[in-house]
Amino acid sequence: MHDYIVIGAGSSGCVVAGRLAAAGAKVLLLEAGGPDDSPNIRIPGLAEKLLDSPFDWGYRTLPQPELLGRRIFLPRGKCLGGSSAINSMVYMRGNRGDYDHWRQLGNEGWGYDDLLPYFIRSEGNQRYRDGFHGTSGPLIVSDHKDRSPLTEMFMAAAKEVGHSFTDDVNGARQEGYGYFQATIGRMGRCSAAVAFLHPAMATGNLTVVTNALSTRLMIEGGRAVAVAYLHEGRPETARAAQEIILSAGAINSPQLLLLSGIGPAAELDRLGVPVVNDLPGVGKNLQDHLYVYARFEVKQPPAPRDMSNAELEAAKHRFMSDGGGPLGSNFMEAGAFMRCDPASEYPDIQLHFELSFGASYFEGATRERNGFAMSPYICRPRSRGEIRLNSADPLDRPLIDPRYFSDPSDLALLVEGLKKALEIGNARAFAAAGARQIYPDPGDMSDAALAHYTRRNASTVWHPVGSCKMGSDPMAVVDDKLRVHGLSGLRIADASIMPVMVSGNTNAPCIMIGEKASDLILAG
């Protein structure tokens, strides 16, 4: 019997399993996907090839009424490393105000000053040497080696239209434009598995089982004691002497709770799932970052992501030989944080500058051009959705309903963010590249036209959170020690526990959650 069972080898689960094993505990880690052994995982510039692949759950949302009935693609990692093995590797923590808000909601120990030591502990920053960053942690965080000339044009354009420069969006001041760091090391992508899991496997305390789909938590006398799972299709059961830690992410963690009879009793009754713990907040409070592209065509220089097949193969060989070349970039080398609502206390829009025009889908047609795109997204959306079971079958996919733009203020804010992106893209600094706005149509820049364009083209940045939120109110699922309300022996450590979305990419915050969770577990 193991001391602990960790379900899910994603950004938080790898940290929890690795830290517990390093502390001497016997840990079993169950991962529904396979190993992280593809060159496409290692090479930063090939991240897009991982989408809708065997390394991705490849989820789709329910049709979204406010997005013209579209179903939105929502990838989630399905391998060791989870989404940190298929993401764009942007290292972003969020704003001090996000975490101070968590503490103000009654979550003791979750303010910014409480959590900064955990960010520092995990981080091996290759540039910053100050009180905001760690230099000896296992997670490599670095600058891009050879920035594109287009990135430098973006920096000049943001300055030209009046934005201020910030040297470190993860430091003292988030607001402004600046270079973005990435979780990329000498050997390529530094996922949570590379940083925390693989080293821990050498301790002898950690057992990792891949292709192991957890199907039910087994509860005895109000305590979680075991996990039923399918290992390569065969039913298995594992028991934990101390605790089970659920780290399956904002989609799969609530799904497993619901399959186990932990959730809203009325919903479970309708599906014939015996109610073990009537917990109404399970699957609710779902939040996600929603973005829309502003796309610009350029004559020169070529955007590195828009390479020909021959150029791509040469770039692969270059990266595998010395870690250099265009595929050493995640193509998101810079961006900005902006306030578009005057009432916001801190930035409410994040902007990614992306080194590719990308594919546009209009009436089923795909158009490829050389250029760049800018994707503003809402930092703290007000819309709330939910995760529900489609049936009591664990092999049936859950119903994902983010309800994007169900709060109309989100649409209004994103349109303002789009205007800011277009202002930067049309600045004189891009003239040397022959930049030309393609989408949205420059012939109609009215608010109504931009709102329609946004409804038609907005999509997710793949940051679902909040579906098992932390707190003490009736809709909370875990307390501030990450213990599931109403049960013992069960904690949740992943993006689902966030009560409110953070202002930035979610990988680094999930690693932080794993760091704090490991301390909470070891403290008893």
Catalytic (active-site) positions: 463
CB atoms within 10 A of CB 367: 14
Determine phi and psi for 380, rounding to 5 degrees: -130, 80
Query: Using CA atoms, how far apart are residues 23 and 6, in angstroms rounded to an integer?
Result: 15
Sign of torsion, CA 38 44 50 56? positive
DSSP state for residue 49 in the 8-state scheme = G
Query: Alpha carbon of 241 to those of 28, 132, 225, 244, 321: distances in Å?
Result: 11, 38, 7, 9, 46
Query: Using CA atoms, how far apart are residues 468 and 471, in angstroms rounded to an integer?
Result: 10
User: Which token pair is 136?
Assistant: 């000896």
Look at residue 56 and give its three-state secondary structure: strand
Nearest to 488 by CA among 124, 220, 259, 90: 220
Beta bridge partners of 4: 27, 243
CB of 211 within 8 A of CB of 32?
A: yes
Query: Using CA atoms, how far apart are residues 140 and 304, in angstroms rounded to an integer?
Result: 23
| Identity of the residue numbered 427 | A
- Angle 464-466-469 (CA atoms, 0-180°, nearest 5)? 160
List, in order, residues 6 or more apart from 193 with CB less than 8 Å away. 9, 14, 36, 80, 81, 84, 85
| Identity of the residue numbered 436 | R
For residue 465, the number of C-alpha atoms closer than 13 Å in the C-beta half-sphere is 29
List, in order, residues 6 or more apart from 203 with CB less than 8 Å away. 21, 22
Query: Using CA atoms, how far apart are residues 12 and 191, in angstroms rounded to an integer?
Result: 11
DSSP state for residue 13 in the 8-state scheme = H
Helix (H) or strand (E) holding 420: helix 408-425
Query: Using CA atoms, how far apart are residues 411 and 66, in angstroms rounded to an integer?
Result: 9
| Identity of the residue numbered 81 | G
User: Which token pair is 308?
Assistant: 């020909």
Query: Using CA atoms, how far apart are residues 119 and 377, in angstroms rounded to an integer?
Result: 24
Query: Using CA atoms, how far apart are residues 455 and 464, in angstroms rounded to an integer?
Result: 19
Give the CA-trace dihedral at 135, 114, 473, 217, to 10 degrees: 40
Query: Using CA atoms, how far apart are residues 433 and 150, in angstroms rounded to an integer?
Result: 8
List, in order, residues 6 or more apart from 306 with CB less than 8 Å away. 356, 357, 368, 369, 370, 371
